Amino acid sequence: MRRLFILACATSILISCSTSSKVGSTTILEPEKDHLTFDGIPTFESNLVWSQDGRYEAFTDMIKFKGKWYISFRDSYSHVWEEDGTAQGHIIVIASDDGASWEKVSELSEPGIDLRDPKMSITADGRLMLLMGGSKYGNIAVTKECFERLSRVSLSSDGKTFTAPVRIQLDNVTGQDWLWQVNWARRKGYGFIKVGQFTLVSTTDGVKYRTVREFDNEPIAGDETCVRFLPDGTMLTLSRRDKSKGESSWWGVSKPPYKDWTFKGIPMSLGGPCFIIVDNSYCIIGTRWRKTGQMVILKGDLEGNVTPACILESKGGGDCSYPGMVIEGNELWVSYYSRHEGSKPSIYLTKIPLNYFDSLK
């Protein structure tokens, strides 16, 4: 890690922000490779865990809470729209005692609002938190415009009964504020606004958030961002980059209070990125490979250097990914969605031995 920051000081672009309490520095390192390839990489099989005829099941997350496994996902007629031209995605939560047999424990909806990308975490007070994008569209027969985006949150103490979704509260609301994912460290939750001003925010209760750092007009300003932490509080992030800005993504590193950042480019455009840290020594990344539209897994170090690891069963064409990832014993469990067994996507689970990743460079 020390070598990374020495290199950053010597060769990178340093951008300083000067906006009131958002003061901080950003160091940007370009990718070390021009591209990645998955040619000749093995494919792991998956098990179907949820499917409904005629329904579009997608955008998963997974967590273990009070001894049970939970997978959350969006249920709709299509990627956005219902048959009647409205956008009103529901969120379904399924649970399992063994990872083999699953049952629906909750379904959340809000009239006139499209709920999507449900992300789960465990709050500082031990509750299961479900964070969702909340968007208000017109009818597709008239317009595709999204009039408002503001994330919703729902909480559960037992994994069965969830509170009705409520709007998150921000200290700077623009009307286009999609908080994509939150993770917790030292009794605070942190996440990045995906749509609107790319901003790091924090919370103590999952509902009210304050600004930690804004990233104004910087190359890394962004998109879907996964957040994780090392034991010393160092925040690691993985951000999708809008495809109009190039075929790359960003690996971020920052220490408390998370004002100063180093971002390193990853030579691959990520769709629905997720990663998990293994033994505080390396990470495993799940995402969509834009070249073929397949669901893929990468191995990376903690400095943002990655190598292709494997492919998960998927049809290709881009309608897959958005994984959830949990380590259980000596296995990595990955939930994701794919349509390789039907005209519409369903929810799948893959289990990969961790020693497979140990064998990779």
pLDDT digits (tens, 9 = 90+) for 128-185: 999 999 999 999 999 999 999 999 999 999 999 999 999 999 998 889 999 999 999 9
Give the count of beta carbons closer than 10 Å to the beta carbon of residue 268.
26
In 103-241, where does DSSP find H-type helix?
A: none
Q: What pLDDT, on a 0 to 100 scale, did the predictor assign at position 260?
A: 96
Report whether pLDDT(23) > 80: no
Report whether pLDDT(210) > 60: yes
Mean pLDDT of 7-27: 50
Q: Which residue has the tokens 């304050």?
A: 210
Report whether pLDDT(343) > 70: yes
Q: What pLDDT, on a 0 to 100 scale, did the predictor assign at position 66?
A: 97
Q: What pLDDT, on a 0 to 100 scale, did the predictor assign at position 247?
A: 63
Rounded to whole angstroms, what are the CA distances from 56 to 44, 71, 73, 87? 23, 16, 10, 13
Q: Which residue has the tokens 């209760």?
A: 205
C-alpha 77/C-alpha 103 separation (Å) is 21
With beta carbons less than 8 A apart as the criterion, state whether 270 and 320 touch: no
Q: What pLDDT, on a 0 to 100 scale, did the predictor assign at position 248?
A: 74
Mean pLDDT of 11-17: 38
With beta carbons less than 8 A apart as the criterion, state whether 224 and 241 touch: no
Mean pLDDT of 43-69: 97
Q: What pLDDT, on a 0 to 100 scale, did the predictor assign at position 246?
A: 60
pTM to 2 decimal places: 0.92
Mean pLDDT of 88-105: 97
Phi then psi for 351, rounded to 5 degrees?
-120, 120
Report whether pLDDT(48) > 90: yes
Report whether pLDDT(295) > 90: yes
> H or E segment at 356?
helix 354-358
CB-based contacts of 127: which residues, under 8 Å, 6+ apart? Answer: 155, 156, 157, 206
Q: What pLDDT, on a 0 to 100 scale, did the predictor assign at position 11?
A: 36
Mean pLDDT of 33-48: 88
Report whether pLDDT(65) > 60: yes
C-alpha 286/C-alpha 304 separation (Å) is 14
Residue 100: is it exposed, middle or buried by C-beta count within 10 angstroms (0-12/13-18/19+)? exposed
With beta carbons less than 8 A apart as the criterion, state whether 318 and 290 touch: yes
User: Whose CA is closest to 322, among 118, 101, 38?
Assistant: 118
pLDDT band of residue 361 (cuts 50, 70, 90) is: confident
Q: What pLDDT, on a 0 to 100 scale, did the predictor assign at position 307?
A: 93
C-alpha 95/C-alpha 351 separation (Å) is 17
Report whether pLDDT(7) > 90: no
Report whether pLDDT(252) > 80: yes
* Residues of the chain above pLDDT 90, percent: 74
With beta carbons less than 8 A apart as the criterion, state whether 308 and 36 touch: yes
Rounded to whole angstroms, what are the CA distances from 173 to 151, 179, 196? 11, 12, 9
Rounded to whole angstroms, what are the CA distances from 115 to 78, 150, 153, 274? 13, 10, 10, 19
Q: What pLDDT, on a 0 to 100 scale, did the predictor assign at position 218?
A: 65
